[in-house]
Amino acid sequence: MIKANIEDALNNQINAELYSSYLYLSMSAYFESKSLSGFAKWMAIQSQEEYAHAMKFYSYLIQKGGRAKLAKIDEPKAEWKSILDVFEDTYAHEQKVSASINAIVDLALQEKDHATVSFLNWFVTEQVEEEATAQKLVDDLKLIGDNNNGIFLIDRELGQRVAEAPVEEK
């Protein structure tokens, strides 16, 4: 059986991952409204990934004998000043998610919950990639500034993103 404090932390993370999905879907809608379909597609896939992350936490919690408790999802931001502003928010959000996951790792280590530490290791590695990707996009957008040709090229590049097939939980 999973300890109550670990169960609470995992439930909070489920909510955080669902919020992330909702936020990235809002960003996708913002890009659609600006006729930036490549940026919109990239964010829609990001939204799907975050939903899949929530479901990994959900499945793990149930597998460990816990109970998933879904909470209210806050309304995400819907307007940004610029494309760069969206990706600066993305980077800051991913840093917040990393801190949240790291706090659960710390708690699991304190509780000597080795199974949860092992489970969370995938997310720790995933967050390194998420932050690096967001930071790279921020850097690229700062480099091109308001150059429409550069924005067009990045939009086309991001539109090439393909959603990864979800991994089946056993």
Angstrom CA distances, 96 to 22, 59, 69, stand at 15, 23, 21
Angstrom CA distances, 137 to 57, 91, 154, stand at 27, 9, 9
CATH assignment of 4-158? 1.20.1260.10
Residues 6+ apart with CB under 8 A from 51: 17, 18, 21
First-to-final CA distance of the chain? 18
pTM, full prediction: 0.93
pLDDT of 120 > 60? The answer is yes
- Average pLDDT over the chain reads 95
pLDDT of residue 168: 54
- Residue 164 — pLDDT band, cuts 50, 70, 90? confident
pLDDT of residue 136: 97
**Neighbour count for residue 12 (Cβ, 10 Å):** 16
pLDDT of 170 > 80? The answer is no
Query: What b/e string do you get for 128-139 counting C-beta neighbours within 10 Å, with b at 16 or more?
Result: eebbebbbebbe
